[in-house]
Structure 1
Amino acid sequence: MDSLITAAARALAGGDPLGALKRVALREDPPALALRGIAMAQLGDLDRAKILLRRAARAFGPKEAVARARCVVAEAEVALAARDLGAPDNLLDQARAVLEDHGDRANAAHAHYLTVRRLLLIGRLDDAEKQLEHLDPTPLPPALRTAHELVVAGIAMRRIDTRTARTALARAQQAARQARIPALIAEAENAARLLDAPAARLIAQGSERPLLLDEVEKLFASKALIIDACRHAVRDRKTIVSLATRPVLFALARALAEAWPKDVARDVLLARAFGAKHADESHRARLRVEIGRLRQKLGKLARLSATERGFALEPPMGQEVVVLARPVEEKHASVLAFLADGESWSSSALALALGSSQRSVQRALEELALAKKIQFYGHGRARRWMTPPLPGFTTTLLLPAPLPND
């Protein structure tokens, strides 16, 4: 490997993509194409990065299997950053196997982390944890140890396990400082700040206040009966009843919980559950049916009693009723929550992450764009959606640069 390639690789390893481009910008040989692709990815030009990495992979000869595998891994990370979540996993798995067979444990581990990060992004926490069990970060370089701890923290935050998350984030920040990569340090610090930002709102007896993730964890461990509007469920510390597929029942449960300990008039329940402005006897009959179904769903968690003007929620003696809601609620809050990471998403990737149909997601995106809450670029299948960019935002990648002694 010549001196310019070596210098460019070291610049990328140190988080200096511009320095790398100065050395290889005009070269067309396979190693230079690969390094240019990684540099463009770190600068945020993901489309150009993908083209360069594919050219490099094709240009490497049959005896350069490790170099080709590294290009595949780098392209997989570009796809992850571009939120191209529908790409097949078999190419990445094959590349990882090649790297392991040739003793390149660092890049093989990096490929493994890409798989785990994708699983985390689409909400498959159990699968992500199983994959993580096979990875020991101890012998890895600092950048990959940072990646490991960020994944551990991400899973813990989704599980509402703040102690594990804080410990992992502290290790991630320490490893990022050892790596001396500014973008990586910023990523670890931004992740740590999430634990000190409002994660939800608590609504109880006519008042509301923001909750940190630590406070949400304490709430779940308390004796309270919680109507969880984040996951559309009713729960106490022992039992969770999901109403995610029963929106009418959840709307009734939330309306009753927000009024607790008072009752709720039938007209109000009809408006909340069915959007009925002028209720007739058929609406009232349907309300009785849905209340009966909600009684059956809740079981021993709470009773629903009829009152003179409506219905009331009655938890077991001494139990408080609260509503846990998202920090900001609107019609397409879940779509906005994914776009809030600052990355550009395709509608197909959002549909995969949300577990929804692509057409439903496209309608939501179009409504949000009309309201000027999001923006897009590209056309057809190349269209990507994102929130308006924040000043100073930098796309961070953990692409390992191949050095001569790898």
Structure 2
Amino acid sequence: MDSLITAAARALATGDPLGALKRVALREDAPSLALRGIAMAQLGDFARAKLLLRRAARGFGSREAVARARCIVAEAEIALVSRDLGWPVKALEAARATLDSHGDRINAAHARNIEVRRLLLLGRLDDAERMLADLDPTPFPPASRAAHELVVAGIAIRRLQTKRARAALQVAGQAARAARIPALMAEVESASRVLEMPAGRVIARGEEHLLRLDEVETLLASPTFVVDACRHVVHGADAVVSLATRPILFALMRHLGEAWPGDVPRSTLIADAFRIRHADETHRARLRVEVGRLRAILRPLADISATELGFALLPHAACEVVVLAPPVEDRHAAVLALLADGESWSSSALSMALGASPRTVQRALESLAADGKVQSFGRGPARRWMTPPVPDFPSILLLPGPLPID
């Protein structure tokens, strides 16, 4: 490897893409194309970067399997950053296996880290943790160690394990400073701010206040009866009941939780749950049926009693009932929560992450765009959606993934 290639690679390793381009910008050999592709990716020109990396992969000979595998890993990272979650994962797995078999442990670990980050975006935390368990980050260089700890922190934050997240972010910060890469240090700082921002809003006895993520963790670990409007579940002292697929029942549950220890008039429950203005006897009969269904589901945790005006919640053991809601509520909050990372997403990637149909996601994006909350650029398959970070908007409790108690 000649001196210019070596110097360009060192410049890229320290986060200096312009310095790398000065050395290889006019060259067309495969190593130079690969380094130019990585440099363009660091500068944000992902389309050009992918083309250069593909040309480099084709340019390497049959005996240069490791170099081709590194190009595939770099392209996979670009796909991840540009939120192309449909990029062929099997190609990355094959590249990782090639690197591992040829003794390139660091780049093989980097490939695994990319796979874990993709799983994290999709909310598949169990799979992500299983992949991380096979990695020993001790021999990693500072930049790779920082990236590894950021993933560890991301999983811990999703699981509401704030102490573990803080510890991982502290190690990531030390590694990023040792690597002297400004972009990496900024990424760690941005991830650390999540722990200090409001993550939820507690409503109890007619009052409400904001909670940080560690306070949400403490609340859910307490014996308090929590109606979680972020995940649409009900937390009791010994059990958790999900109403995520029962929107009418959860609407009733939230009203009962916010009114506790008082009751909720039947007219209020009918108007909100069934979305009608004028109720008749058929709606009151339907309300009785839905309350009966909710009573059966809640049997391990609470009862619902009929009162003269309506219905009231009666927890079995909890001495307090609260509703945990997002700091900012929006009809398409889950979409906004993913877009709040500031990256550009395709509608197909949002559909994969949320587990929703492409048409449902597209309607949500069009509605948000009409309200000026998101914007798009590009056309057709290249169209991307993004929004600047929304102040005090929850990006953790609304993200896809298992419940904190799972």
Contact 2:340 2:389 in 1 (8 A): no
CA distance, structure 1, for counterparts of residue 10 and residue 300 of structure 2: 63
Query: What does residue 197 of structure 1 align with?
Result: 197
Aligned partner of 2:131: which letter? Q
Query: What does residue 12 of structure 1 align with?
Result: 12
TM-score using structure 2 length: 0.94
Query: What does residue 262 of structure 1 align with?
Result: 262
Q: Summarize the Cα distance change of 1:299–1:389 in structure 2 as closer, same or farther, 3 Å threshold.
A: closer
By how many angstroms is 1:355 displaced? Answer: 0.9
Query: What does residue 113 of structure 2 align with?
Result: 113
Query: What does residue 228 of structure 1 align with?
Result: 228
Q: Summarize the Cα distance change of 1:179–1:375 in structure 2 as closer, same or farther, 3 Å threshold.
A: same
CA distance, structure 1, for counterparts of residue 88 and residue 285 of structure 2: 50
Query: What does residue 219 of structure 2 align with?
Result: 219
CA distance, structure 1, for counterparts of residue 292 and residue 28 of structure 2: 71
Q: For residues 115-264 of structure 1, what are the structure 2 equivalents within 5 Å? A: 115-264=115-264
Query: What does residue 301 of structure 1 align with?
Result: 301
Between 1:262-271 and 1:310-319, the stretch displaced more is 310-319
By how many angstroms is 1:388 displaced? Answer: 4.1
Query: What does residue 45 of structure 1 align with?
Result: 45
CA distance, structure 2, for counterparts of residue 165 and residue 317 of structure 1: 32
Cα shift readout 1:265-308 (whole Å, capped 9, x = no counterpart): 01100111111111111111111110000001111211100011
CA distance, structure 2, for counterparts of residue 146 and residue 3 of structure 1: 28
Query: What does residue 277 of structure 1 align with?
Result: 277
By how many angstroms is 1:106 displaced? Answer: 0.5
Query: What does residue 400 of structure 2 align with?
Result: none
Aligned partner of 1:153: which letter? A
Report the aligned-residue RMSD: 1.1
Q: Residue 201 of structure 1: SS of its match in structure 2?
A: strand
By how many angstroms is 1:242 displaced? Answer: 0.5
Query: What does residue 404 of structure 1 align with?
Result: none
CA distance, structure 2, for counterparts of residue 273 and residue 53 of structure 1: 53
Contact 1:11 1:19 in 2 (8 A): yes
Cα shift readout 1:249-272 (whole Å, capped 9, x = no counterpart): 000000111111110001100111
Query: What does residue 33 of structure 1 align with?
Result: 33
CA distance, structure 1, for counterparts of residue 290 and residue 389 of structure 2: 44
Q: Summarize the Cα distance change of 1:114–1:63 in structure 2 as closer, same or farther, 3 Å threshold.
A: same
1:83 aligns with 2:114: no
Count the aligned residue pairs.
Answer: 390
CA distance, structure 2, for counterparts of residue 121 and residue 300 of structure 1: 33
CA distance, structure 2, for counterparts of residue 375 and residue 359 of structure 1: 18
1:292 aligns with 2:292: yes
CA distance, structure 1, for counterparts of residue 224 and residue 318 of structure 2: 9
Query: What does residue 104 of structure 1 align with?
Result: 104
TM-score using structure 1 length: 0.94
Question: Where does the alignment leave 5 or more consecutive residues of structure 1 unmatched?
Answer: 391-406
Query: What does residue 23 of structure 1 align with?
Result: 23
Query: What does residue 358 of structure 1 align with?
Result: 358
1:335 aligns with 2:356: no
1:66 aligns with 2:103: no
CA distance, structure 1, for counterparts of residue 88 and residue 292 of structure 2: 46
CA distance, structure 2, for counterparts of residue 347 and residue 10 of structure 1: 36
Q: Summarize the Cα distance change of 1:113–1:237 in structure 2 as closer, same or farther, 3 Å threshold.
A: farther
Contact 1:376 1:386 in 2 (8 A): yes
Cα shift readout 1:149-170 (whole Å, capped 9, x = no counterpart): 1111111111111111111111
By how many angstroms is 1:223 displaced? Answer: 1.3
CA distance, structure 1, for counterparts of residue 281 and residue 25 of structure 2: 75
Contact 1:220 1:237 in 2 (8 A): no
Cα shift readout 1:1-42 (whole Å, capped 9, x = no counterpart): 122111111110011111111111222111111111111111
Contact 2:237 2:317 in 1 (8 A): no
CA distance, structure 2, for counterparts of residue 28 and residue 373 of structure 1: 43
CA distance, structure 1, for counterparts of residue 238 and residue 144 of structure 2: 37
Aligned partner of 1:99: which letter? L
Q: Residue 238 of structure 2: SS of its match in structure 1?
A: coil
CA distance, structure 2, for counterparts of residue 100 and residue 240 of structure 1: 42
By how many angstroms is 1:189 displaced? Answer: 1.3
Aligned partner of 1:23: which letter? R
Q: Residue 84 of structure 1: SS of its match in structure 2?
A: coil
Contact 2:225 2:318 in 1 (8 A): no
Contact 1:375 1:388 in 2 (8 A): no
Aligned partner of 1:257: which letter? G
CA distance, structure 1, for counterparts of residue 387 and residue 24 of structure 2: 33
Between 1:261-270 and 1:234-243, the stretch displaced more is 234-243
Query: What does residue 401 of structure 1 align with?
Result: none
Q: Residue 210 of structure 1: SS of its match in structure 2?
A: strand
Aligned partner of 2:134: which letter? H
Q: Residue 163 of structure 1: SS of its match in structure 2?
A: helix
Identity of aligned residues (%): 69
Query: What does residue 396 of structure 2 align with?
Result: none
Contact 1:375 1:387 in 2 (8 A): yes
Q: Summarize the Cα distance change of 1:257–1:67 in structure 2 as closer, same or farther, 3 Å threshold.
A: same
CA distance, structure 2, for counterparts of residue 378 and residue 278 of structure 1: 46
CA distance, structure 2, for counterparts of residue 318 and residue 74 of structure 1: 52
Q: Residue 305 of structure 1: SS of its match in structure 2?
A: strand
By how many angstroms is 1:238 displaced? Answer: 2.2
1:387 aligns with 2:387: yes
